[in-house]
Amino acid sequence: MKIFITLIIFSLSALSHGEAVWKEGEVSWVYPQANGSFAVTFKDPSPDCTHSSGYHYAKVGENSVTQEGLNNMYSLALVAATTGKKLKVNFKSESSACFVNRMYIVF
């Protein structure tokens, strides 16, 4: 019985955290914000991101992002946009801000 209750508690706690989702596509634009964060949009918006404009935000303190990580992701997003390579981002779908945790360029 204790195992059953423990499994239920873990299941409920897993549901309370948004699912991490991957999105791959060509960058439409990169939008730096005054607070140091930035947003990325894709030519083909993700159905899992509920932001009305399809913004995927990267911000220090959100989804475990550090300042160094933010700087690296910003550089990577700009490289993908200028070279026309596809960018793949991992984000949380629980918020309409679609906070990005990590990304990479598809070669």
* 9 has a pLDDT exceeding 60: no
What's the pLDDT band for 1 if we cut at 50, 70, 90? Answer: low
Pick the CATH number of 21-106 from 2.60.40.10, 1.10.3470.10, 3.40.50.2300, 2.40.50.50: 2.40.50.50
Q: pTM for the complete prediction?
A: 0.80
Residue 81: the pLDDT is 98
Q: Domain extents for the chain?
A: 21-106
Q: What is the pLDDT of residue 13?
A: 41
Task: Say what the pLDDT of residue 24 is.
Answer: 97
pLDDT tens-digit readout, 12-34: 444 445 689 999 999 999 999 99
Is 48 exposed, middle or buried, given 0-12, 13-18 or 19+ CB atoms closer than 10 A? middle
